[in-house]
Structure 1
Amino acid sequence: MRRRVGGTNRNESALTRSVNAVFEFVRVAEFEILFLLFFVIAFLIFKDLTSKPEYNQIFVKKPGGDSFWPYG
């Protein structure tokens, strides 16, 4: 009776070996995946917030009258 330590077993199907390889990759790269996912979610939230017209008015209009800046 042979024990499998870390190698691939040829008795397994190609689908099983590929699924195991994907799970091994996720296990190794878990931190990087979560790090990238955090930035993608933060980008989507920020993009959604800045697409609202009332939020963009903060950048366009100034509440005071004339100011130092020639635009506003």
Structure 2
Amino acid sequence: MIAQHYNSIHVENNLLKQIKIKENQLKIAQESDMIHVAEELQSQLLKLQSQLSEPQEQDVEIQALMSLLDE
């Protein structure tokens, strides 16, 4: 359970780093009037943000299952 929690934190931290990088890239693309590049970066950013919310939902489900096993 501890290893799983560590892995979850590691994945979340990695996603946060990737999101920060994409945000910076998007800002540069917007400032440089690179419309198509900005659109693609926005799409990638949305995918990363959706991935960030998924592991948290899975953690809740896993915790619920683990609590059933404890009983």
**TM-score, with normalisation over the residues of structure 2?**
0.39
The structure having more radius of gyration, on CA atoms, is 1
**TM-score for both structures, normalised by structure 1:** 0.39
Considering Cα pairs closer than 8 Å and 6+ residues apart, tell me whether 1 or 2 has the greater RCO. Answer: 2
